[in-house]
Amino acid sequence: MSDLIYCRDENPESAGTPLILVHGLFGASENLMGIARAFDNRPVSLVDLRNHGRSFHADTMSQTEMAQDLIRLLDAKGWHKVDLLGHSLGGKVGLQLSQLAPERLNRLVVADIAPVDYQPHHQLILEGLDAVDTATVKSRAEADQVMSEYIEEPGVRSFLLMNLVRSPQGGYQWRCNLDALKKNYADIRCAPVFVQAFEGPCLYIRGGNSEYVQDTYQAAIDRFTPGAEIQTLTGCGHWLHAEKPADFNRTAKAFLS
């Protein structure tokens, strides 16, 4: 097994500080292509976290391990310092990187997540994914019908079903490592491990209709990233970069330029 996570490089010949984009739980690099297109004048790498997308599968996936995966990727590319934008779990991994190796980060954008412990809230999603018998399911539509008994929102099911791919042996399989996601869920939802305050520029972008970055989390934000800005995009929730792409990209570009 290679210890390098998968990444998709855009604009590799461009000048400027490279930008790393990191997706959220159950996601993959292609979820952030809309952001990558907005940064067409600089190198952009969209990564797949371990147990997601095209990256390797592993039994463990603490935030520390995922941040170390990013460090190995930067070393392999010869990039000493980068900008990083992470959504949800990707934001937590970015925050963990800021604790372990702050010298590798120029600027950090954290999209709709905070450095706090979150209560379990993905149980129905995990149950819905588990309920799909990938060995016998005939189509994504059939899988969607099974999942609808657990997950009401069609948009959420559509997003999750991007993980259902054809198996080389026939039938379907989950591209994400569902067993590892279930096994490591406690590590995924916990706060990053605090090592030292990140003194570099940091921006939190939160959705106005989301509860992921609450005002009561300010003390935790100040501890991990003192002096960080918080900007709220109105009229959108946790998937703010998909719901308000123009506003999100404009906000991120203004901070990272």
pLDDT digit string, tens, across residues 25-62: 999 999 999 999 999 999 999 999 999 999 999 999 99
DSSP character for 29?
A: G
Give tens-digit pLDDT for 191-244.
999 999 999 999 999 999 999 999 999 999 999 999 999 999 999 999 999 999
In this structure, what token pair is assigned to residue 238? 């946790």
Q: 97 with 213, same domain?
A: yes
Helix (H, G, I), strand (E, B) or coil at 156: helix
| Nearest CA among 140, 145, 143, 134 for reference residue 167 | 134
CATH code of the domain in which 240 resides: 3.40.50.1820
As a whole number of angstroms, the distance between CA 26 and CA 17 comes to 28
Q: 218 with 144, same domain?
A: no
Q: 170 with 66, same domain?
A: no
179 annotated active-site: yes
Based on the structure, what is the number of domains in the chain? 2
88 annotated active-site: yes
240 within domain boundaries: yes
Q: 24 with 147, same domain?
A: no
From the list 29, 45, 55, 88, the catalytic residue is 88
1 within domain boundaries: no
Q: What percent of the chain is modeled with pLDDT above 70?
A: 100
- State the pTM of this model: 0.96
Q: 52 with 107, same domain?
A: yes
Q: How far is CA 183 from CA 59, 61, 79, 108, 186, in A?
A: 8, 9, 33, 29, 8
* Domain span at 80: 7-118+190-256
From the list 3, 9, 40, 179, the catalytic residue is 179
From the list 23, 87, 238, 241, the catalytic residue is 238
Q: By the 8 A CB rule, do 46 and 24 touch?
A: no
Q: How far apart are the first and last CA of the chain?
A: 37
185 within domain boundaries: no
| Nearest CA among 180, 113, 181, 155 for reference residue 242 | 155
